Amino acid sequence: MSLFIQKYHAYFMKTNPEYFSEIVYLRAIAILAVISIHVSGSFDKMNSINFLTLLYMSVSTFSHFAVPLFVCISGFVLYNKYQGTFSLKLFYKKRLLSIIPQYTIFSILWILFIYIGTVYLGRVWNFSAIDIVYQYLTGTAFYHLWFFILIIQLYILYPIIEKIFTKSVEKHKILNLLIFLLIVQILYQIFSDKNMFYIGNPTMFLAYIFYFVLGFYVRFNYLNYKKIKTDITFGYMFIFFLALLPATILGIGNLSIEYFRNDISPQIILIFNGVSAIITPFYYILIFVLCLYFALKIFEMIPNMITKCLQIIGNYSFGIYLIHAFILYFLTAIILPKLGFNMNNWLYYPLVMTLVLSISLTLVYMINKFPYHEYIIGNSR
């Protein structure tokens, strides 16, 4: 092992794990983006395609950095805490207890909800025990639960990935590893068939593996990054805007093909998917940089009340993720339609975003008061 690596390990083991308050802000940004995706995602149900539709599609495209950011944060936090020699038994026990009970409870709740709804509507319940097990194993009991299957896979694979990363550090091949994983991720995004759950679901981690290891890399160099005194001026912001704009337009094009055009040839779709898969990781990295800059610099300049709200949202982000889909469903499928209020109204997005966030946050706060709440909505950080 080189002298550089020896010095690094000595330093890392002395300071690890270290607390980084900005991670809470990043979680807050990520969960707000998740809610934004789900609120803006029903643009295809609007009465007509207009400027508001385009606006929803833009918001949806931009907000899709949320899951990659959560994955990157997970890689950062895990590598900050579990690096070098650690107990695999304790690692798996703690990690899986932090996600399996919560995922199981909410999967059961959604399956029961669908069953009750089916009976209430007088329809036939067509789900067998195999169907229910299949939904549980694939994260398809409801649309947002797939994320937990992804995280479970990354938790299971973490010790192996950490060893590979450590070997790359020792051989000064970190960038080679990242480039390789980026290529693997891009090829997977282009050629994987997301409708083949029996293949695509167990290999889902390959679609996010680059972001996960990117979290390792950022933690490895983070203390040096934080020493860099750089302010993003108007010129930098303009450059960021110019860099993000083409990828956003491309994302809107992909959504247009997926939801509004049925006459596009498979070859054109493959080209769009390929270009999108190549550009998207760099698009998200730019957004990550902006999010981190806001977490480190901008949030220090805004009123304490706002930063306190962001901290609360970040601390409760896990529970909010679990609960928000329930709230959004009841609002958009049951309550708001009775009031004649839908996505064709310009106030729809800000109102539904505010309601979903505030109600979810309130419920998570209340559940935190009960014993064993961590097995329902996770630990509040």
Q: Where do we find the tokens 């802000």? A: 25
What CA–CA distances, in Å, run from 23 to 136, 320, 364? 30, 16, 20
pLDDT at 367 (0 to 100): 93
d(Cα 106, Cα 136) in Å, to the nearest integer? 10
Percent of the chain with pLDDT over 90: 50
Q: Specify whether the CB–CB gap between 1 and 169 falls below 8 A.
A: no
Higher pLDDT, 52 or 120: 52
Q: Specify whether the CB–CB gap between 351 and 64 falls below 8 A.
A: no
d(Cα 201, Cα 208) in Å, to the nearest integer? 12
The model's pLDDT over 154-205, given as tens digits with 9 standing for 90+, comes to 999 999 999 999 999 999 999 999 999 999 999 998 887 665 555 557 788 9
pLDDT at 10 (0 to 100): 45
Over range 43-58, report the average pLDDT. Answer: 87
What are 254's two structure tokens?
């992909």
Alpha helix stretches (DSSP H) within 98-145: 100-120, 129-138
Q: Where do we find the tokens 């934004």? A: 36
Would you list the domain boundaries of the chain?
1-64+302-381, 71-231, 234-296
pLDDT at 229 (0 to 100): 58
pLDDT at 42 over 80: yes
The model's pLDDT over 332-344, given as tens digits with 9 standing for 90+, comes to 988 998 898 989 9
Which long-range contacts does 83-89 make (Cβ < 8 Å, 24+ apart)? Answer: 83/12, 83/13, 83/16, 83/162, 83/166, 84/9, 84/12, 84/13, 84/166, 88/159
Higher pLDDT, 242 or 372: 372
For residue 13, what pLDDT band results from cuts at 50, 70 and 90?
very low
What are 248's two structure tokens?
């956003």
pLDDT at 11 (0 to 100): 43
Q: Specify whether the CB–CB gap between 295 and 29 falls below 8 A.
A: yes
Q: Specify whether the CB–CB gap between 360 and 323 falls below 8 A.
A: yes
pLDDT at 5 (0 to 100): 46
pLDDT at 118 (0 to 100): 75
Q: Which of 350, 341, 289 is nearest to 55 (CA)?
A: 350
Q: Phi and psi (nearest 5°) for 377?
A: -125, 15
- Neighbour-count burial for 73-99, b at 16+ CB within 10 Å, e otherwise: bbbbbbbbebbeeeeeeebeeebeebb
For helices 100-120 and 129-138, what crossing angle results, to 10°? Answer: 140
Q: Specify whether the CB–CB gap between 174 and 165 falls below 8 A.
A: yes
The pTM assigned to this predicted structure is 0.89
- Locate the DSSP E strands across the chain: none
What are 52's two structure tokens?
């508001």
d(Cα 160, Cα 185) in Å, to the nearest integer? 18
What CA–CA distances, in Å, run from 360 to 36, 145, 169, 354, 377? 14, 16, 42, 10, 11
Q: Specify whether the CB–CB gap between 161 and 213 falls below 8 A.
A: yes
Q: Specify whether the CB–CB gap between 205 and 150 falls below 8 A.
A: yes
pLDDT at 15 (0 to 100): 46
Q: Where do we find the tokens 């009123």? A: 303
What CA–CA distances, in Å, run from 273 to 16, 38, 82, 286? 40, 22, 36, 20
pLDDT at 200 (0 to 100): 56
Over range 293-297, report the average pLDDT. Answer: 83
For residue 235, what pLDDT band results from cuts at 50, 70 and 90?
low
Cis preceding linkage at 371, omega within 30: no
How far from the centroid of its chain's Cα atoms is residue 75's Cα?
12
d(Cα 181, Cα 173) in Å, to the nearest integer? 12
